[in-house]
Structure formats: C-alpha cells, structure tokens
Amino acid sequence: MRLNAKPTLVIALAGLSLLATACSGGTSSTTPASSSTDTASAPAAATSMTWWHNMNTDPGLTFWANQVTAFQAANPGVTIDVQPYQNEDLRNKLTTALSSPGAPTIFQQWGGGELAAQVKSGYVQDITTSAADAITALGGANAISGWTVDGKVYGLPYTGGIEGIWYNKDLFTQAGITSTPTTLDELNADVAKLRAAGIQPISLGGQDNWPAGHWYFNFALRACSQSVMAATVQSLDFSDPCWKQAAQNLVDFTKTNPFNDGWQTTSAQTGAGSSAGMLANGQAAMELMGAWEPGVVGSLTQDQKIPAFLDWFPFPSVPGGAGDPTAAMTGGDGMSCLANAPAACADFLSFMVSTPVQEAYASTTNSIPSNPAAASALTDPSLQKVAAAAKNTAYTMLWLDTAYGTNVGGAMTSNTVALMSGAMTPDAFIAAIQAAAAQG
C-alpha cells in the first residue's frame, strides 16, 4: 500500500466483491433510504458527480445503483452518474483519466503505492476531516492505513478480507482427502491425490497475470520476515535472499503440476471456462483468491448461487522461510474523491461505509464489510470462516502489486507467468523487479 504501509495492522479490506449473481431487482430493499441522513448533509446547490467503479455484475451492480438512488433522495440537488467497468478495464482507464478533464468525481481506490502516486500527482482529495466520523467507525486512520498517505486519509474501503484457497469439498472427498492442508507438503500430497483421482487440482487464470502474481505474493509472505516486508515498502530494495527464495519455491511448486492444463491461457474470473468457472462447475478443486470469490463462483454456477461445496482454508506454511506461517495477504476495495470534488463526494463515501448500508451490503452481496459493526450480517459460512481467520493472523500484508506501487507491482505480476513457465529464472525475475523499482 503505499507510502508507509503498516502491514502489522489487520486492515479490514480485501479484494473486492466483483461478485456476480443473476440480475435480480430489489437488492437494496434491506437498506432504508433514510440511513444516508446519518452521514451526509444535503448541499444547498445542485451538484453533479460521476462515479466509476468495478461492480459491473449483480448483485453488486444493482445493490450500489439502488444505494445511489437512496443517497440522492436524501440529498436533494445531488445527482450521481454511475459508470461501472470490468476490473482490469477500470484500472487501465483510470491510469490516464485522472490527469484529464474527464476524470471521474468518485473512483475506485485500491490504496497503497498506487494511492501514494495519485496523491503526489495531486489527483486525490484529503478527506481526513470531511469524513472524520466514517473514519472513526472503520477503526480510525490506522485501521485503514492502506488509504492513508503521510497520516492523512484519501479514501475509504467498503469491503475487506484475507486471501486463501477456496476449494470444492465434494472433490476433496472424492479424492480421499479428509482434512485441509496446513503445510506445503500436505498441499503437495493433496495435489497428488487429486491428480490420481482424475481431478485438476488448482485452477489458475494465468492469462490475466495477476492471479499468478498472487501465488508469488504468498510464497514471498512465507519466505520473508515481517520486517523485510515492511521495510521494502519504503526502500523497494529486493536484495534480501528471501525474495529469490520465494521465486524458487514457486518454481518448485509449479513443477509438481498443481495447476489446470493450459493455465497460462486460462482467464481469471469471467465465464465458465475461466479459473473461477472451473471451480464453480467442478472442473478443478481449488483456487487461490480473495474474499470476493464466493460471489464470483456463485455467478458462474448453473443456478447462479454460491455452491454448498465451496469452502476455504488459509495459505499453508512453507518450510525454510522467515515469514510467519499465520500471516496473510489482504487487499481492499474502496473509493476516493477527485481533488476538486464537491463536499457531497466525501458525504457519499461516508454513506457507503455507514452501518445500515454495510449490513445490507454484507447480507445482499455475501461480501465482508469494512465496517466492523456490520460483520454480524454475514450469512455465508465460508466468509464467516475468512472473517474469523483474519482475527488470528500474526499480521496482514497488502497485495504486493498495491503495496509496492505500479512499477514494481506490474513487474511482479507481468513476469510471474514467465517464471512459473520456466521462461525466466528466479535471478532474472528479481532483477526485473529491481529494475522496475529503479524507475521510481
């Protein structure tokens, strides 16, 4: 995350709810329109804002559209033009849009190094004072350190959770696996059992690069100490041997043939043939993903419901590393305001994380809310397990492509497939990352 990520703090965030479930109306009926009056003050003059976000599928798409309607009703004169995009398309679009006259008033914010760079360029509004009550409700600035730069808050997360491995309980049973693996050796043994049973063990959307990158992130979390992880946010120095060790460990794991056939050309999260689709439809037993996975998987089943077989376990421990075996990768989805945004923007961000909206969000979209007061609204057992596990982590670390910024993060994710495929050595992989860091 940034600036000065405080990875020792469990940040209640996580990769977003890009969820998808068939479009069905009425998803916001659980959130009273009057809830916005707790966090927003009606502006005196007409105010128009644009909102770019990545919740382009239901239930998130309809849910947030209805929350906009509720906010507008409680704030006469405010109108919000909602423009949803697919996640990767949005990231690419924001790269150039923020410096243009057509920049959105409200936009998706993943925090960390990306946010720090945006703040440095003068694109983002400081909401430390204007959203003070909402920041307090989320646990204070330290609890959302991924959205802070030099002690000031520049965005609010609306969802969170830690990363782990989602799996099909039925396929595990079919392969004779009676418990989930807690060590890399146990995971390797389970991969062998699944292969022997004719089941593809782990689906991986290598075509999109970032899912492969997340495997490196987790191996690095196990190889590198917390102090190295934290110091690297500032130094961007990857000379510690643990970074190469993580790369070698990933190469060695890939050689055991754990991933689906053709993983290099498999897409990640969209369509029946994607890595998430393979898990959803029983074609693979596992996938490494964030807390958004149940919603995505549910949208890709025939009945468009989260399957009863879906469950979760933490990334296993890896021998020989200096990392804490209970540490976890995390990330989050939030929103920021453009630097010159009207006051209604911070009001809307505060509305998004208010307890009534967050409770409805958790129960409607099966996503982990960022507001701790809304956690009791979670109904999905697997997400309850993720939320419980987050309380037992030694520390959490933001996705490394977020924590270490665009250049370094891009080098990590874009080169991991080559590393795993044997087209790049661990030495060359680290050299590419260090070269990206030198670019600033």
The domain limits of the chain are 33-162+329-398, 164-328+401-438
What is the predicted pLDDT for the residue at 387?
A: 84
Buried-state track 245-257, b at ≥16 Cβ within 10 A, e below 16: bbbbbbbebbeee
Task: Supply 171's token pair.
Answer: 């396929």
The per-residue pLDDT for range 362-408, each reduced to its tens digit, is 999 888 999 988 988 998 888 888 988 887 888 888 899 988 888 89
E-assigned strand segments in 110-191? 148-149, 152-153, 156-162, 164-168
Residue partners of 120: CB distance under 8 A and separation at least 6: none
When pLDDT is averaged across residues 140-166 and rounded to a whole number, the result is 90
Q: How confident is the model at residue 307 (pLDDT cuts 50, 70, 90)?
A: very high
Please tell me whether residue 184 adopts helix, strand or coil conformation: helix
Average per-residue pLDDT in the chain?
A: 88
Compute the CA torsion angle 228, 136, 390, 430 (nearest 10 deg). -30
Please tell me whether residue 368 adopts helix, strand or coil conformation: coil
Q: How confident is the model at residue 18 (pLDDT cuts 50, 70, 90)?
A: very low
What is the predicted pLDDT for the residue at 189?
A: 98
Q: How confident is the model at residue 173 (pLDDT cuts 50, 70, 90)?
A: very high
Residue 2 has pLDDT above 50, yes or no: no
- 52-56, 264-268, 337-341, 394-398, range with the lowest pLDDT: 394-398
Contact status, residue 273 vs residue 214, Cβ threshold 8 Å: no
What is the predicted pLDDT for the residue at 348?
A: 98
Residue 32 has pLDDT above 60, yes or no: no
Q: How confident is the model at residue 440 (pLDDT cuts 50, 70, 90)?
A: low
Rounded to whole angstroms, how far apart are CA atoms 434 and 238? 6
Residue 5 has pLDDT above 90, yes or no: no
What is the predicted pLDDT for the residue at 73?
A: 97
| Number of neighbours of residue 48 by Cβ within 10 angstroms | 12
Predicted TM-score (pTM) of the model is 0.77
- The sign of the dihedral angle between the CA atoms of 251, 256, 258, 261 is positive
Rounded to whole angstroms, how far apart are CA atoms 349 and 301? 32
* Phi and psi torsions of 117, nearest 5°: -65, -40
When pLDDT is averaged across residues 400-428 and rounded to a whole number, the result is 94
The per-residue pLDDT for range 126-147, each reduced to its tens digit, is 999 999 999 999 988 877 888 9
Contact status, residue 386 vs residue 319, Cβ threshold 8 Å: no
Q: What Cα–Cα distance (Å) separates residue 320 from each residue in 226, 249, 327, 392, 425? A: 15, 10, 15, 22, 20
Residue 69 has pLDDT above 60, yes or no: yes
Q: In this prediction, what percent of the chain has a pLDDT beyond 70?
A: 90
Q: How confident is the model at residue 318 (pLDDT cuts 50, 70, 90)?
A: very high
* CATH T-level topology, domain 33-162+329-398: D-Maltodextrin-Binding Protein; domain 2 (3.40.190)
Rounded to whole angstroms, how far apart are CA atoms 208 and 123? 28
Where does 164-328+401-438 sit in CATH, by number?
A: 3.40.190.10
E-assigned strand segments in 237-317? 284-289, 310-313
